Chains A and B, each alone.
Chain A
Amino acid sequence: MAQKNTNDIIEVCGKIAKILLENGAETTRVESTVEYIGRAAGIQLKCHATMTAIFVNVKNAAGSLTHLEKPRVSSFNLQKVDEINTLSREFSSHKIEFDQLQSRVEAIDHQVIDFSWPQKILSAGLVSVAPMLLFKASWKDLLFAFFIGILGYLASQLAGRHSATPFLGAITGGLVISLIATSLKQAGIADSSSNIVISALMPLVPGVPLTNSLREIIERDIISGLVRGMDALMIAGSIGIGAIVGTFLANLLIGVL
């Protein structure tokens, strides 16, 4: 009976670590949360987390048990991080029992907690008006960036959803944005295509993952930091390639017309 219980605990802990890591929590926080929950559940467990594998290990009289999870680098869903955090607080202050913890972790793993699409579309537009360019680009260009940013965000989300190829979303986003921006410039409507492209790319570029990856490296979680950083670099490269192809296509189209 005790054996089965231990098995359950490390399995739930593995799942918690996976959800936290994939949705944007730092590696040290993941490890400490899992060890905290283990202590609250009454067993001494060790957790080793990197972006490529999570190990949860417990040593007891019956021997040594290890549970392995394989996380993937994916886009952030910080709401899940918050829910798991609340759950672990409630569990360690003994407000909820282990069975409840188990079923609620399961629920968080499967449930899609999300803002609605109209909210997301409006937000993508807001992010696309970069404060950096407020007095460098013309107001007209910023207005264009608002709408082109929305289109680029939607295109990259759609492409990412309907294809298993990683990075295709980023390529599509870059392509759509630079295609429209260059066409507008060539048609003489917009003032500067590069300002529009830079501003509209704000929701897509991997600046935040890159900064997070350096923070992990500073905290000496070098493997996680490198994996996240390399992923950010690949996304930036994909957007760059998409943008170049988009500009090329737009120039070609204008030439034909």
Chain B
Amino acid sequence: MELVLGFIFSFLSTLGFGVITNVPRRVLIPAGITGAFGWTVYLLTEPLTTSIILPNLLAALIIGLLGNINAVFIKVPVNLIYIPCLVSLVPGVVIYASLKDFTLGYYNAAGHNLIKTLTVALALDLGFAIAESLFKKCRHIISKNRIKRKGNL
């Protein structure tokens, strides 16, 4: 139940952020599904570990792989899929909390959250880096299949 609701709401969230950042219309649905799968992976892995790195890294890995595949099929730069998909994972609220604590003079909490922000962002970026290098290895398989299918048609 939690997974289903999480899937639906992260789909809506990704869709919404896509509209706010003006992605092309044909990107909206694939990006929404990619983002929802990423969030589901995050939900699945989060209870298994105490670290915040692993869930974020795996979620980014899934988004990276699905995003790259989608980008080939709908012909857009892959960044256009990443940006809306990231909205539920990124440490935006943590960095806000950190800077708020900083303004209020709670320097310990501020530093703690700032480092958490950097950790999460790095984990996400590493996930993307791994996904992209994996995808580069498999890219020719996907494009070969597409050419074959077009040839058959």
Q: Which residues of A contact B (CB under 8 A)?
A: 24-26, 29, 75-82, 85-86, 113-115, 119-120, 122-127, 129-132, 134-135, 153, 198, 201-203, 205-208, 210-212, 214-215, 218, 232-233, 236-237, 239-241, 243-244
With known contacts A208-B90, A236-B95, A124–B20 Cβ distance under 8 A: yes
* Interface 9-residue window, one of B119-127, B133-141, B142-150: B119-127
Whole-angstrom CA separation of A79 from B126 in the bound complex: 26
Query: Which chain B residues (79-136) contact chain A, with CB distance < 8 Å?
Result: 79-80, 83, 86-88, 90-93, 95-100, 102-104, 117-118, 121-122, 124-126, 128-129
Q: Does B34 contact A (CB under 8 A)?
A: no
CB neighbours of A218 from chain B (8 A): 125-126, 129
Q: A78-B24, A210-B91, A218-B126 are in contact. List 9 more A-B contacts (CB 8 A).
A: A24-B83, A75-B21, A124-B20, A126-B12, A127-B20, A129-B9, A205-B92, A214-B122, A241-B103
Central interface residue in B80, B95, B103, B128, by most chain A CB within 10 Å: B95
Whole-angstrom CA separation of A77 from B19 in the bound complex: 10
Q: Does B68 contact A (CB under 8 A)?
A: no
If over half of A's interface residues share one DSSP class (helix, strand or loop), that class is named, otherwise mixed; here it is helix
A75 nearest CB neighbor, chain B only: B21
B23–A78 contact, CB under 8 A? yes
Central interface residue in A120, A207, A243, by most chain B CB within 10 Å: A207
Whole-angstrom CA separation of A24 from B16 in the bound complex: 17
Of B19, B75, B79, B99, which contacts A233 at CB under 8 A? Answer: B99
B95–A206 contact, CB under 8 A? yes
With known contacts A77-B21, A120-B19, A82–B77 Cβ distance under 8 A: yes
State how many residues of chain B have any CB contact under 8 Å with chain A: 50
Whole-angstrom CA separation of A72 from B62 in the bound complex: 32
With known contacts A203-B20, A244-B104, A239–B76 Cβ distance under 8 A: no
B87–A202 contact, CB under 8 A? yes
B86–A211 contact, CB under 8 A? yes
CB neighbours of B118 from chain A (8 A): 214
CB neighbours of B102 from chain A (8 A): 237, 240
CB neighbours of A131 from chain B (8 A): 6, 9-10, 13, 39, 88
With known contacts A240-B102, A244-B104, A26–B13 Cβ distance under 8 A: no
A-B contact pairs, 25 of them (CB 8 A): A76-B21, A78-B23, A78-B24, A78-B83, A79-B22, A82-B24, A86-B75, A114-B22, A115-B22, A122-B19, A123-B16, A126-B15, A127-B17, A131-B6, A134-B5, A198-B93, A207-B86, A207-B95, A210-B90, A210-B92, A210-B121, A214-B118, A214-B121, A218-B129, A240-B96
A79–B100 contact, CB under 8 A? no
